[in-house]
Amino acid sequence: MKRFCMERKCIIHCTNDSADLVSLKDEESWKTMLRAAEIRKYQEILEISKSLSEGEVPLIYYHRKCRSVFTMKKLLEKLTEQSSNSQTDQEQVVRRLSIRGSSNTTTTYERICIFCEKPKYLKGTRNREPLVQCRDMRADSSVRKIATEKNDSKILALVSRELVAAEACYHRTCYKSYTRPEASINVDPDVSSESPDDRYARLERDAYQMLFDYIRSDVIGEEKVVRMSDMTQLLVEYLMSLGAKECKPSTKTHIRRNIEAEFSELLKFENLLDSTLVFLIPASLTPVQIARNILTILTAEKKTKALQQRSPIFRKLRLTSAKQFGTKKAKCHGHRALRS
């Protein structure tokens, strides 16, 4: 026996399937989907099951491809195995999807990259790449599409929920790598045929977005004062890490204007320490907080300089420079003697 339970839409939409919707054919089909929902803690189906009587089958709709992914045996076995030692249903979700919070629909994913699941440093630097929170449904759709094409069970488990609603985070370089054209069956001809100038403009936009993410999380979020020169260097590192062969002078020239346009009154630009150095300062900081930040910067620089001076390599370079200076000085005296 069936009864109406929901509007005509795919209740478990987790693929790019847009074919005709189908409904449950019998009680066994319903039990299979319900078991998958129990393992996944998929609340929408679990809530429907509570209102049914014994032997009743709800009238719900789905795409065949979505059902295939949702009830994938191999994936469900992994979910069950990783949650076997949990004490509660909420802990089961935490183990598999690295989720924090309560078991309701406001639960969000842990703030780590959904692709690499670890901190990531920019190539050749000690700077961590900032995490980006998914706020665009197009990004959600792109990840879902590629994961389906690759049959990636790990990512498919994550996109069983909307990444935007779950506040999923990722590194931009990881996202680019996962969704790059060669990773997809359908290659975007616009990207493959773009001119060098268009490619540089695209990489520059991405590098700026990475810099803006860093400023939001590490400068404004952590209430730090930073040198503009450091921000320029970070922008260059981001640009090179994305594949640019060089950084055009215009990219460095317009950095302050672009930061001001993005953050408006949230940031201030100040010349401090009686020098021409410009510092980037969160507008919310008090004078005392600014002073503490500057003291921290100066202390760190002093320690770094002291460590460099104690380094054998530094001492060797200093001795070499002294010898070269002494040689040049001797030659200079020799030329003067000859002239006299």
pTM of this structure:
0.45
Angle of helix 172-179 versus helix 137-150 axis, rounded to 10: 50
Q: How far apart are CA 157 and CA 173, in angstroms?
A: 21
Give the residue-averaged pLDDT of 35-54.
86
From residue 172, alpha-carbon distances to 129, 210, 231, 241 in Å are: 8, 7, 18, 11
Place of tokens 């510092």: 279
Q: How far apart are CA 106 and CA 112, in angstroms?
A: 18
What's the confidence (pLDDT) of residue 335? 54
Query: For the purposes of burial, counting CB atoms within 10 Å of the CB of 227, is it exposed (0-12), middle (13-18) or buried (19 or more)?
Result: middle
Q: How far apart are CA 188 and CA 184, in angstroms?
A: 9
- Spell out the domain ranges in the chain: 2-71, 85-188, 194-285, 294-328
Please say whether the beta carbons of 239 and 232 come within 8 A.
no
pLDDT, tens digit (0-9, with 9 covering 90-100), for 57-76: 888 888 888 888 788 877 77
pLDDT, tens digit (0-9, with 9 covering 90-100), for 153-190: 888 888 888 888 888 999 888 888 888 765 444 444 45
SS (H, E, C) 208-229: HHHHHHHHHHHHHCCCCCEEHH
User: Which CATH architecture describes the domain 194-285?
Assistant: Orthogonal Bundle (1.10)
pLDDT at 273 over 90: no
Pairing, β 169-171 against β 99-100:
unpaired
pLDDT, tens digit (0-9, with 9 covering 90-100), for 218-234: 888 788 888 899 899 88
What's the confidence (pLDDT) of residue 317? 58
Q: Which long-range contacts (CB under 8 A, 24 or more apart) does 177-186 make?
A: 177/115, 178/115, 178/143, 178/146, 179/142, 179/143, 179/146, 183/146, 183/150, 184/145, 184/146, 184/149, 185/149
pLDDT at 245 over 90: no
Amino acid at 222: E
Tell me the average pLDDT of the chain: 77
Token couple for 249? 């002078």
